[in-house]
Structures are given as structure tokens and as C-alpha cells.
Structure 1
């Protein structure tokens, strides 16, 4: 009898466990937001297909190929947008490098992203060409990531022009203390990268996973923390939390003021990474266009702090000087668009109208001379470093910015001014699905 009673008890326990698991999975179906935050990685893959980001052995992580969510999509190469067409005699390829502000995280539709809009505007102006603009932006990337992104992913598509847009992520990466942990590869910020598909078996059980996430014992399978681990010396998140709770300055920021932190962690790594990227691209004999970082301040955000606004302004001023020193072109977007809140969703990421305006300004800067269609590095002889140097911006004796090598000069020479840039602001991207959800939603 005792044996039979034990079996009944075991059966009852199994029934209760199964019932609780079914109930927990039913909770996941109450809303997309709840599902996105509490579902397992396997459940996310089953519903949405390929994830937005994947681990990468050299870069840490990249945007994943084949990702689709609503009107957003990645092509087979993993870049946001349509498939990259084969090279033809009419091809003119442009690549854009940066973080979420290049990826265009402020818009859900990939057709509203600035690289897509730039392709359209350039195609209309140069109908004799097959214009292709590759969106090489990846959310969260710094200049160090973009340097690796160029070397390991983008360069193989041999773009004739590379547009670089960076600023706020490198500024955030300077919020590291002690200053000895501030490095050009930002290893004081990103201490390790992970494969989100690898996790403990018990996390497959919703009845255990959901309370564990709510209690903070594990992170959401849809969290950026599943991709990388922030270092303990990275204080940007603490600064944000203090601002949200209205207690800034507190803790470390009482003893180490922001001004001191930004002074000791200056923007030299930002500039050295940009310089390395420019040199790498020029070695291929192709062109670089640097773009200063535009933003609009919003109260309560990190960049609303005067120390950070000024630090971003200084980064932009140094970028202008670096462009002159390297003899490459710079479009001063910061002086043109900063402060216009109607162009941004959060003060940093452009909305659809802002992306259209940005694409139009960049396109206008490239209208001075038609590209030499079909002269992609995929079809041309390998270029030496000397050739790359000859193809950089010409001296003031050539006012139209036309290179000595006919047809190779693409970007219009844009004279940068050493003027103060209007203040800037911060925020988060507006892309859903396999993106980070900052706070857990309420389970009702």
C-alpha cells in the first residue's frame, strides 16, 4: 500500500509540475512584451527566427543574417537592409560604419534607415550608376568595434566610399573608473562576450526561468547582457540610474566628479581608432567621409549633463581637426542638425524625418563629382598604401576637390569650421525583437 501511495504522490507531483509549467507558458502568451522579456532563447528563435545579433569571434557580436521583425530585416550578409547586389560595370558601393545611430535604431522600418534613404537619393542623382549603400551600423558599437567590423566584414564588399559616424558610444565608454581601465579597445567596458544560445538546462523551464528573471538571479534571454558582460569599472549605467532616481551626484560621482573623469579619460582613443580606420580604408585606394555627431538635448538624460554635452562637443571639434590632419573629408552634421529635437526620437537616434534630412545632406556633399561607376576594388587591381594616400583630399589649390586620378575622387571637399557644437542628448533605440528591454513588464 505504501508503494502505491508513493506512486500516487509522485504522479501528483508530476501533474502539479506540468500544470505549473503550462501555466507559466500561458503567462508568456499574455502579451508580446511579456513574451519578449521572459521567453527562453529557444522560444524566441521559434517565434521570430534568426536573432538580431550573434556572437562573433573577432568583434564580439554582429548583426545576424536573415533576421526579420515587422518591417525590419537583415540581408544574408547580416547587414540591415535589402540583399547586396552583385557587382556590375555600373556599380558604385558605399559603406556606412557606426553604432545604432548608423543602423538607425530610431525607426522600425529598414526602409526608413539613413543608409537606405542615402542609396535612394544618390541613385536619383546618379542614374547612370547602380548605387549600393551597405548599412554597416551595429547597435552598441564603438570606434574600436567599427574598425574590426571593417576588417572582418565590410571590407570584403570593397566599397569605394566609407562613411563613418561615431560619437556617443565612445563618449559613454569614457565613463570608466579608475582611469587605468580606459583602453583603446574599451576592454574596461566590455570585459567578455557570450553566446546567448548557451545557458543552463533548467532555464528552459518557464516555471523556473520567469521567477529567476524577476528576482534578478538571471538576465532575460532577450537582454544585451546575454551577449556581453560589462566591467565593474564601467560607471555609465550607475550614472543613468542615479539620474533616474534623482540622486545624482552620489557614490563615486561625489569623490570623482564627471569633469575629472572625462578629463583623465580623454577622447584620444576615439581619435586613434578613427585614424586607424581611415588608414585601413585608404590602403585599398578608396575614400572616407567622416561625419560629426549630431544630437539634441533632453532633460533627465545623461547627455543633458553639461559635462557630457561639452565632452561630445570637444570630440566633434577634435574630429574636425583629425580630418584636416589626415587630409580626408568631413561633413559637419553636428553644426547643422544638433539641437533640432523634431529630428530625433530620443535626442540621439534620428526619426524617419531626421534620417531623410541626414541622407539628403550627405548626398548633397557627394554631388560635386559623379562617381566612376564600376571601378570597385572587386574589379580593380589591389591598391598600394601610396595610391591610397594619393586619393585623399586635395589641397586648396584644387577647389572642387577633384583627385589627380580621374574618376577616383568621390567625396566633395567639405571645409570644417572649428566652431562650438550645440549641446547633445541621449536615449535608447526603438527597435524591437531580440533587442534589449530595459525593465521587466508587469505580469498581470
Structure 2
């Protein structure tokens, strides 16, 4: 037999047909990369929606609002002149805080556009310290003062909290003209200073005070509606704001900065008078004091030099506010003098705890009661024939 002849298949042995032979195995069909990526994206989207839905059920069962982890993304909205302001009809509810704004973008309950007959309206102006940054609705000084004044028999009184976290006097003046003046205030309480430090120590205070922009892009405001995004970006990866003035500011007050602060005080005084309102000036409670408690020093600065610088800055602010009040014959309420710089009353360098808010409210109410009594007596005299 020819050696090149093929032997017949032996029993038990298998032969593999050549490619393309009849009855052979077909090649495996591969899915295009574009389609695989599409399937992966859909699967990821479904997974994210499942997690989002689960988180929403979780926060709802706890009585929280969906913005619980990133409330600041929705609390603020862009403003063409001030950079931002407060979103009307906002609400945050968490295990720690309940914060809400009314239809005017003021913290607190809803009010009528037209002041009720016989009612005195008092407006609190300032930044986060006046807003009540660390306390829930009902615990901030504005609400406490309103209750105390009405209980004292000098009402009916409405106290409007027009403060906005982060606002300096440049921004507060604009807010007063746009939002507060139309609400017919009778008394305007200034609790300001901390947010003006940036231009108080600047050689070019006008440029510094106006350099305010809305730092939250539109895409992140959209994502702010997501519980999952807020949890990851702000609870797991976010950082807390630093309110240690001595740590952030490495300069001393300048003549130009002090003059600019004074000019902004005069401006809001003129606007208040034009609206028929009396101005009351307060010093700010702060940890930047020589006798600050040891466990609160870190909220002021990293070392003794930083702390001493912060003390000098706030001494300058207080002296400027006191001088402004004296020159214009305005009441001056020294809140700093009655709030000890301890962690019982201050949660950080400038923000009051519930106990601190009560001390602030007590001091402010005590100053406002005789002022309201005088207003009422003058009103009674005018009504007599």
C-alpha cells in the first residue's frame, strides 16, 4: 500500500473536519464593542437608579428631605449683583437641623407682603452668624426675640431674618433695597462684621468686596437633587468650611478697609432712614477674644500669633461699629460682652450654639423693649385729639 494513503479512521478516535466543512462547528459570534459599552452603561444607570431610589426611601423613612447631604446646593441661587441669595420656599430636614425659607427667601415662617396694621416689623441683617448657622428653626435669635417681645406685651411684633450666609455689607445693602425695604421695616438690626474682614484688611477694598460670584455650576445644582450625589460628594468626600479668621487672614486692618466698612454702614443707615426704619447696631459674638477657652482656640487660629491677629481684627470691627452707632445716635448692643468664648455658646469661631442664640436674643430683646415702648407711646400720642 502506498505510504501516502490515508488510513481509515480507527474506532474510538475522532477527526476534526477542516474549517468550513459540512457539519463543522460555527465560529463564535462576538458582540461589537459599541454595543457592549451601551449595555454596560444601561446596567450602570439602572444600578444608580436603584441606589438612588433606596436612599430616597431611607431618608423619607427617617423624616429627612432628599437634600439632606448637600443642602447648600439648593439653599442658594444665582443673583446678578450679589453673586447669590437664598432660594424661596426651601426646606432642609435632617436628624440635626430643620431650616426653611418663606416665599421672600427669608428664613422663618411665611409673612404677608403688606405689613399688618399695628404690627412692628424688625429685620435682622447679616451673614451666617445672624442667620443661625448651627441651629434649627425656632432656635435662632430672630425667632426667640420675636417670642420674647410679644410675651413682654410690646407686640404685635414680627422679626424677619433677612441674613444670608456669607454675605458682607456690600451684599446686605443690595438685599435690603431689593427684599427688605418693600416689607416696610420699622427697626433694622445690624449683626455684621465677620464677612467684611476680607476687605477690612485689603488695600483695594472696593475690588475685594465686589468679587463675589456664584461658585456652584448649573450642572452641580441639578445633581444637588440627587441623594446619592449629595452623600458621596459632600458627606463622604466633602470638607467643612473654615471659619478661623486668624488662620485665613494674614494681614492687619488697613485705613482703606476701615473707611470702606464705615461707608457701607453709612449706606445702609441712609437706606433704612429712607424706608422709615430705626437702625440698631450689634457687636458680633466671637471666639476671637483674649480669654478664649483652650478647647476653642483651634477655631480661631493655629497658633498664638494667628489668635492675636484675629483678636485685633475683631477689636477693630467692634470699635468701628461702636463709633458708627455713637456718631449717628443709634443704639449699640454689645453682644460680644455677654457671650463667653466657650464651646457652650460658640460652635466655632463665630457661630452660636442654641445656648449662645438665647444669650444673643436676651440681650437684643432687652435693648429693643424700651425702643418699642417709645414707639408705641408716640403712636398713642399722635392718636389723641
The equivalent of 2:39 in structure 1 is: 15
2:273 to 275, 282, 306: 282
Q: CA deviation at 1:29?
A: 7.5
The equivalent of 1:300 in structure 2 is: 298
1:270 matched to 2:267? The reply is no
Aligned-partner SS, 1:342: coil
Distance in 1 (CA, whole Å) between partners of 2:246 and 2:160 is 38
The equivalent of 1:197 in structure 2 is: 218
The equivalent of 1:145 in structure 2 is: 171
1:103 matched to 2:100? The reply is no
Distance in 1 (CA, whole Å) between partners of 2:72 and 2:245 is 33
The answer to whether the 8 Å contact 1:50/1:66 transfers is: no
Distance in 2 (CA, whole Å) between partners of 1:113 and 1:356 is 8
Q: Please show how residues 200-211 of structure 1 align to structure 2 within 5 Å.
A: none
The answer to whether the 8 Å contact 1:184/1:269 transfers is: no
Q: CA deviation at 1:407?
A: 4.0
Q: Please show how residues 219-238 of structure 1 align to structure 2 within 5 Å.
A: none
Distance in 1 (CA, whole Å) between partners of 2:67 and 2:44 is 20
The answer to whether the 8 Å contact 2:170/2:210 transfers is: no
The equivalent of 1:59 in structure 2 is: 82
The equivalent of 1:316 in structure 2 is: 318
CA RMSD of aligned residues (A): 4.0
After TM superposition, the score normalised by the length of structure 2 is: 0.71
1:135-186 CA distance string (max 9 Å, x none)? 001000011111111011111101100000011111144465xx34x32761
Q: Please show how residues 169-208 of structure 1 align to structure 2 within 5 Å.
A: 169-174=195-200, 179-180=203-204, 182-183=205-206, 186-188=209-211, 190=212, 192-193=213-214, 196-198=217-219
Distance in 1 (CA, whole Å) between partners of 2:37 and 2:115 is 63
Higher RCO by CA contacts (8 Å cutoff, separation 6 or greater): 1
1:335-387 CA distance string (max 9 Å, x none)? 222524421111311111111111111111122251646xxxxxxxxxxxxxx
**Contiguous gaps of at least 5 residues in structure 1:** 36-42, 225-235, 374-401, 410-444
Q: CA deviation at 1:68?
A: 0.8
Aligned-partner SS, 1:299: helix
Q: CA deviation at 1:14?
A: 1.0
How many residues were matched structurally?
322
* Structure showing greater Rg: 2
Aligned-partner SS, 2:78: strand
1:218-244 CA distance string (max 9 Å, x none)? x99x999xxxxxxxxxxx98x97996x
The answer to whether the 8 Å contact 1:50/1:65 transfers is: no
Q: CA deviation at 1:49?
A: 12
Q: CA deviation at 1:126?
A: 2.3
The answer to whether the 8 Å contact 1:144/1:185 transfers is: no
Q: CA deviation at 1:311?
A: 1.1
Distance in 1 (CA, whole Å) between partners of 2:201 and 2:370 is 40
Distance in 1 (CA, whole Å) between partners of 2:122 and 2:244 is 36
1:113 to 140, 144, 156: 140
Distance in 1 (CA, whole Å) between partners of 2:137 and 2:221 is 34
1:89 matched to 2:117? The reply is yes
1:354 matched to 2:372? The reply is no
Distance in 2 (CA, whole Å) between partners of 1:267 and 1:345 is 28
Distance in 1 (CA, whole Å) between partners of 2:339 and 2:216 is 38
The answer to whether the 8 Å contact 1:164/1:290 transfers is: yes
Q: CA deviation at 1:79?
A: 0.6
User: Which segment drifts farther, 69-78 or 262-271?
Assistant: 262-271
After TM superposition, the score normalised by the length of structure 1 is: 0.62
1:40-60 CA distance string (max 9 Å, x none)? xxx859x98992111122322
